Chain A
Amino acid sequence: MKSVDARRLLCPLPVIRTQDAVADLHPGDSLRVLCTDPGVIHDIPAWCRVHGHEVCDIDEQEDTITITIRVGSH
């Protein structure tokens, strides 16, 4: 699975890194995004909703938040 390291970046940069990574993927592909800014818990799902992607999982472990996305049809 492709992964994006957006740790230490503050929103909206993790969203932008996610968007740029998704642009290279195909419908049905998955993407894992590692973040530290708690703002991503709201912003990445919001970005996914407006673009038709699915958030499969949000995992918070200490300071790292891992969000797994399944790419929808662009």
Chain B
Amino acid sequence: MTEKRKAVALISGGLDSLLAARVMMDQGVHVEGINFYTGFCVEGHTHAIRKKDRARPKRNNALWVAEQLGIKLHMIDIIEEYKDVVINPKHGYGANLNPCLDCKIFMVNKARAWIDANGFDCIITGEVIGQRPMSQRRDTMPVVARESGADDRLVRPLCAKNLPATRPEQEGWLDRDRLHAFSGRSRKPQMALAAHYGFEDYAQPAGGCCFLTDKQYSVKLADLWATRGKREYELDDIMLLKVGRHLRPRPNYKLIVGREEGENRFMEGYRKRFVHLLPTSHSGPLVLLDGEPDDSDIELAARLTARFSQGRDAEYVTVEVTGVDGASRALAVKPYPAGQVPADWYL
């Protein structure tokens, strides 16, 4: 009896990787999943922050996919290693600060190292030719296979018939005729295949799983790099870019203004690292001040804090200002007029 062939599937939590893994399982291949956490993933933490999102089902889609398939899922923290992908992408960025091609090469390379270490035969992705403008094109998909080192051990079951035969096909243990020839941006073939397998409840289209594809997020990250004078970040930096309104009234500092209770609670964990402001005469947001402020900056920051409080129409609002040394003082300030906050202060 021959040993069962083994494949690891890159599981994002979306429909395509679910289907790709399922197609392989149909041919008797043992499949396990692998999921990489970069710090920019929309999955996971975002629903924990905002109160309005707390009512939504708290489901990790990659784990949910693994459960649907009945496979193991190995979740890998790549936060530190991924920085070089974001900061120095060899193949450049997409429409925003999304280094999609370098990202795919990096992840497939990590998966290749994983299969080598664990005695698996090949890697599966849910890629479809023409579906993504950067990483899933006819000319870039071979680049992913080559530069990741996966070469002919990278199987894309959803569009395999449009690509050269992979090693499993050449070796005869994967039937090319039972793979697919999807191409383009239409989701209909995937939806039909999902219906064929009886998958009804799945996460909606791929691509929305990374904050780096988001224009506003990328603007805030670019601002972070520009004002610090270096293209670096820590996990806390990129987490804070996901919460609050970000305003830069002066080049030497910006304000992060909590928009609601969930964000305020999340930001409380960062109070000791930032000068922070909180209205005390009226209810209002926690505001973190990121930068090197002087006294006039503090006054302006307090007026802006008052503007976002319930006292925005009051003559004066008392704002408590606390330094990183823990020392607090109270300032009575006139709220900044709502209509006069310059639009270009908002990041």
Contact = CB atoms under 8 A, between A and B. Distances in A.
- The answer to whether A and B belong to the same complex is yes
B266 to A, nearest CB: 8
B263 interface: no
B63 A19 contact: no
A27 interface: no
B239 A47 contact: no
Interface in A4-50: 8, 10-13, 15-16, 19, 37-39, 41-43, 46-47, 49-50
A47 B74 contact: no
B48 A38 contact: yes
A27 to B, nearest CB: 15
B48 A8 contact: no
Contact of A46 (B64, B72, B76): B64
Nearest to A20: B77
A43 B72 CA distance: 14
Contact of A11 (B54, B60, B71, B73): B60
A39 B60 contact: yes
Interface stretch (B37-45, B151-159, B182-190, B305-313): B37-45
Contacts, number: 71
Interface in B110-150: none
A8 B159 CA distance: 41
Q: How would you classify the secondary structure of chain B's contact residues: helix, strand, loop or mixed? A: mixed
Contacts of A38: 48, 54, 58
B47 interface: yes
B58 A10 contact: no
A47 B269 contact: no
B48 A19 contact: no
B44 A11 contact: yes
B60 A42 contact: yes
B329 interface: no
A69 to B, nearest CB: 15
Contact of B74 (A8, A19, A42, A46): A19
Given A12-B37, A13-B77, A16-B75, A39 B45 contact: yes
Contact of B63 (A8, A41, A43): A43
Q: How would you classify the secondary structure of chain A's contact residues: helix, strand, loop or mixed? A: helix
Contact of A39 (B41, B44, B77, B239): B44
A50 B33 CA distance: 10
A11 B47 CA distance: 9
Contacts of A41: 58
Contacts of B66: 50
Contacts of A12: 35, 37, 41, 43-45, 60, 62, 75
Contacts of A10: 44-45, 48-49, 239
A42 B37 contact: no
A67 to B, nearest CB: 14
A12 B58 CA distance: 11
A46 B60 contact: yes
Contacts of B49: 10
Given A38-B58, A46-B64, A11 B45 contact: yes
Nearest to B32: A50
Contacts of B230: none
A12 B57 CA distance: 15
10 contacts: A10-B45, A11-B45, A11-B58, A15-B60, A42-B57, A42-B59, A43-B44, A46-B60, A46-B63, A50-B63
Interface of B: 35, 37, 41, 43-45, 47-49, 54, 57-60, 62-64, 66-67, 70-77, 239, 269
Given A11-B48, A12-B75, 19 more contacts: A10-B239, A11-B44, A11-B45, A12-B35, A12-B41, A12-B43, A12-B45, A16-B75, A16-B76, A19-B74, A37-B45, A39-B58, A42-B57, A43-B58, A43-B63, A46-B60, A47-B73, A50-B73, A51-B73
